[in-house]
Amino acid sequence: MKKYALLGEKLSHSYSPIIHKKIFEAYNIDADYSLLECNKNDLEGIINKLRTGEYSGFNVTIPYKIEVMKYLDEISDEAKAIGSCNTIAYKDGKIIGYNTDYFGFYNELVYYNVEVKNKDCYILGTGGASLALYKALIDMGGNVKYVSRNPKNSETITYLELENKNIDLLVNATPVGMSPNVGFSPVKSDIAKRSKYVVDIIFNPKRTQLLLDANSNMNGLLMLVGQAVKAEEIWQDKKYPLDIIGLLKEIEAMI
């Protein structure tokens, strides 16, 4: 049996095992998927378990999507362009990093018919996940800025500056509002309410305070399912004609 796992700091909120096990069942893949909470000092040792065959692949989440890159033998073109990695595979004797967040987020925007081209898009947060969102929005023709408490370049503005901006699309890539610390939003409610589209890549709870303020249902579960399918295609070296929306509805019924 192949073993896969999600690497992260705090993982009790994750639905990844449910999603991957559904994919295993759908395609008769003899595999198991687990959660591996770890600290930064553990990463190199855990990733090297791919070489021994103890694990066949990993997903990576907060806060290690950038940190893990230093321990990889190769990085795929899309992960290089994005600057972060959320999927790791062992192929031909090499540990290789990929980014499937891009695929998941891109397809979520397409599914919800979110207008991006020539629109003013703002990403809350500058961590590993935000890099994939930025690349997707740029590729879709958006005018994109990060929002941070400590801007470090011209591509980033402060939360105070955001209050005076026209916002066509607001995307939360921070952990603010994530279970178990629900009821909090990274921005004031009036900012959420006047944004044309609001997406929160948090998926637990289903509707964060940000989404409630914005009267939006666009959480991160569809992105999570989409990136999981893409990760499986990388790990199994196969294309799966999987109904992602159908899988999403199955997962929603279980949680």
Kindly name the residue from 10, 65, 91, 117 that is annotated as catalytic: 65
- Mark whether 91 is an active-site residue: no
Secondary structure string (H, E, C) spanning the chain: CEEEEEEECCCCCCCHHHHHHHHHHHCCCCEEEEEEECCHHHHHHHHCHHHHCCCCEEEECCCCCCHHHHHCCEECHHHHHHCCCCEEEEECCEEEEECCHHHHHHHHHHHCCCCCCCCEEEEECCCHHHHHHHHHHHHCCCEEEEECCCCCCCCEECHHHHCCCCCCEEEECCCCCCCCCCCCCCCCHHHHHHCCEEEECCCCCCCCHHHHHHCCCCCCHHHHHHHHHHHHHHHHCCCCCCCHHHHHHHHHHHC
- The residues annotated with a catalytic role in the active site are 65
